[in-house]
Amino acid sequence: MTTQAGSWMDRIQDLHDINAYREQHWEGSFEEYMDLVRKDPRIIRNAHQRLYDMIVEYGTEEYTEYKKKIVHYTFFNDPFNDGEDAVYGLDISLMKLVNVFKSAAYGYGTERRVILLHGPVGSSKSTIVRLLKRGVEEYSKQPQGMLFTYRWDLTNVPGMEETSFVSPMHEEPLKLVPSDIREQVVNELIEGHDLPYPIKIEGELNPACRHTFALLMEHYQGDWKKVLSHIRVKRLILSEKDRVGIGTFQPKDEKNQDSTELTGDINYRKIAIYGSDSDPRAFNFDGEFNIANRGIVEFIEVLKLDVAFLYDLLGASQEHKIKPKKFAQTDIDEVIIGHTNEPEYRKLQNNEFMEALRDRTVKIDIPYITKLDKEVQIYRKGYSDDKVRGKHVAPHTLEVAAMWAVLTRLEAPKKANLTLMQKLKLYNGQSVSGYTEDNVKELRKEVKREGMDGVSPRYVQDKLSNALVSNETEQSINPFMVLNELEAGLRSSTLITSEDQRKRYKDIFIPVREEYENIVKSEVQRAISADEEAVARLCANYIDNVKAYTQKEKVRNKYTGRDEEPDERLMRSIEEKIEIPESRKDDFRREVMNYIGALALEGKVFNYKTNARLHRALELKLFEDQKDSIKLSTLVTNVVDEETQKKIDVVKERLIRNYGYNEESATDVLNFVSSIFARGDVQDQES
């Protein structure tokens, strides 16, 4: 038993990185600390500089959208938790936020502002701040992000009640250098290092350390070096759980708000020791502003703060000072970031007494996602097959839910011939006939509040969860189950403020269902016409006829051996599938031949797969030719002969292999598409 326990202890000891622990708990003299700073002056960066460097060090990816360069900061992919808190589709807003941090790092003024994330509920405001807090926490553990504070060792000093205490606000040790020579000392320490921004150590010691420093200076008759012999510099690891360098403040009801939650309060037990409530040693520097020094403080729903709190916030942002009870103003160095929703922000705008706060605020809009692919990523994170136990999520289920959500956020296009669905496709980077990138830029410019209204991702996630648990007998959930849940939920949703809004959201289900029908019809058509050899033969036949047509030649019929005129009916049946009008057929055929000729000059062979439009046209033509032989519409009658059933099984197998269906969802989608074709057959007969 002892041996087994010992082996487990050894195993845990092997997994534990003792060297990393020792590095993160380094302690040394003030002289040793200055040597560290001389080697790497980044140690003494301020909070804004450290936060900006942290984001940038995770790397960037650049891409162009609508002829504008966009920078994606990979930090917001959530490298700490396997992407659990990744932020999608908000690169432009995040660029603006990081630019604010950059400006603050360079000392251009935004370091003296409250950063306010503003947007509708569920738009990732809290997630962004949570990532930033987690980021600075992890960064402080890395060599490139290390920072230090100090403690007082007063063991051999007579008259001192405490033998040791840590700087209660985790201050920078170089604050112990007298302010009149501090700039010169810092300049000598950073000399020879190429730093992108100015390094300054600003502010004075906190009241408790200032008091101790003064007592020791008196004890040693002004010998600063002897005073500093009582200083032990120690590595500072920021931690939200330990309330070190990361603070969070959430307003309570107005009657219970107390500003000491921000700036600390008197420790009444220590008054008996020190004899006065104005002795700084009898004060707890444990307010959110105090403990967040050197890091970041988050204000949740910041505009719900009482006016008295807002005065503290103004001083903290503009002057980098706070006013603890019974003490002089105290210097702080921290990033102040808050977030709020639309109604609270409107109250701020309408309140003339809040003008000072508005003037000291940098607002960053965090809207809902308006790009379909990015919205899908949110739901895929929590509802992919590998995360939904015992259930299969049918293809397009998440896409259809995301499509409806995004459409609720889009403003109706002002162009009369453009539908909301087409606008969604343009925003998603898909082509719509007659529209260019410049048109998309115009669409973006003409909107006022796009992305600031609509359905929250949380609403969709709730309904996806309902669909998963309410259809217990089903092995999979499909788009219609989710759409039904989304629509039913509108009746009781607390986020809907008017019947007009409810009606608009309900009306959006119509184009979403139509789009889904088109998607699955296309997939089934492709599955039916997925015989690559047949597509290749049809393509070769088309190219032979196009070549003969453009060169005014005849085509040899391999069955009869006779030369015949190019098959106009065949060529048009294919070209019509990609909407080539009769008037443009000659131009299109010449383009095809020129393309083939250009490939031949480069030593390449033409392949129909390289031309997406032609490929799709060939598949649709082949489907049209094979549709009658499969008789898919007979599925709705439940009377299918053996030969047709074999062909349907082949199609089903292709749906499973190529499109991600399982047996149940493939059967469901075939039945659904067959009902569409059956309706089409009836309509054809009636017409």
pLDDT at 395: 94
CA 11 to chain centroid: 38
Q: Which amino acid is at 259?
A: S
Three-state secondary structure call for residue 23 = helix
* Cα atoms in the 13 Å half-sphere on the side-chain side of 405: 32
- Give residues with Cβ within 8 angstroms of 296, minimum separation 6: 47, 51, 132, 133, 136, 245, 246, 247, 334, 335, 336, 337
Distances (CA, A) of 13 to 3, 10, 46: 15, 5, 36
Strand intervals (E) in 5-67: 27-28, 60-65
Q: Which residue has the higher pLDDT, 317 or 535?
A: 317
The CA distance from 672 to 666, in Å, is 10
The CA distance from 530 to 354, in Å, is 65
The b-or-e profile of 52-77 (16+ CB within 10 A means b, else e) is: bbbbeeeeeeeeebbeeeeebbebbb
Q: Which amino acid is at 538?
A: L
* The token pair that represents 477 in the structure block: 């959930």
Question: DSSP of 331-363, one letter per residue?
Answer: E---EEEEEE-HHHHHHHHH-GGGHHHHHTEEE
Residue 151 bridge partners (DSSP): 166, 232
| Model pLDDT for residues 260-269, shown as the tens digit of each residue | 888 988 888 8
Would you kindly state where each structural domain of the chain is located, as residue ranges?
A: 372-523, 524-623, 631-687
* The token pair that represents 298 in the structure block: 């988050």
Q: Which residue has the higher pLDDT, 281 or 27?
A: 27
| Model pLDDT for residues 285-339, shown as the tens digit of each residue | 999 999 999 999 999 888 777 776 777 888 899 999 998 888 888 999 999 999 9
Measure the CA angle with vertex 673, ends 420 and 625; round to 5°. Answer: 105
Tell me which H or E stretch contains 151.
strand 147-153
The CA distance from 231 to 166, in Å, is 10
Q: Which residue has the higher pLDDT, 123 or 627?
A: 123
Most confidently modeled of 151-165, 564-578, 670-684? 564-578
Average pLDDT over residues 351-359: 76
| Model pLDDT for residues 204-244, shown as the tens digit of each residue | 999 999 999 999 999 999 999 999 999 999 999 999 999 99
Min mean pLDDT across 83-92, 607-616, 645-654 is at: 607-616
Q: Are 413 and 443 in contact (CB under 8 A)?
A: yes
Average pLDDT over residues 356-384: 91
Task: Say how many residues make up the chain.
Answer: 687
Three-state secondary structure call for residue 413 = coil
What proportion of the chain, given as a percentage, has pLDDT over 90? Answer: 51
Backbone angles phi, psi at 405, to 5 degrees: -60, -45
Backbone angles phi, psi at 90, to 5 degrees: -120, 30
Average pLDDT over residues 56-60: 96
Average pLDDT over residues 156-165: 81
Three-state secondary structure call for residue 146 = coil
Biggest CA–CA distance in the chain, Å, is 118
The structure's pTM equals 0.84
Nearest to 190 by CA among 54, 48, 30, 42: 42
The CA distance from 258 to 131, in Å, is 28
pLDDT at 2: 46
* DSSP H helical ranges for 16-46: 18-24, 30-39
Nearest to 535 by CA among 526, 523, 544: 526
Measured between its terminal Cα atoms, the distance across the chain in Å is 86
Average pLDDT over residues 654-660: 89
Across all residues in the chain, what is the average pLDDT?
87
Residue 361 bridge partners (DSSP): 114
Q: What band does 347 get if pLDDT is binned at 50, 70 and 90?
A: confident
Q: What band does 51 get if pLDDT is binned at 50, 70 and 90?
A: very high
pLDDT at 4: 56
Residue 685 predicted with pLDDT over 50:
no
Min mean pLDDT across 364-373, 448-457, 489-498 is at: 489-498
* DSSP H helical ranges for 495-531: 499-507, 509-528
Which residue is listed with tokens 């607390």? Answer: 494
Average pLDDT over residues 60-73: 90
Q: Which residue has the higher pLDDT, 158 or 401?
A: 401
User: 349 exposed, middle or buried (CB, 10 Å; 0-12, 13-18, 19+)?
Assistant: exposed
Average pLDDT over residues 160-175: 90
CA 318 to chain centroid: 30
pLDDT at 686: 36
The CA distance from 48 to 295, in Å, is 8
Q: Which amino acid is at 665?
A: S
- Give residues with Cβ within 8 angstroms of 587, minimum separation 6: none
The CA distance from 508 to 454, in Å, is 12
User: 132 exposed, middle or buried (CB, 10 Å; 0-12, 13-18, 19+)?
Assistant: buried
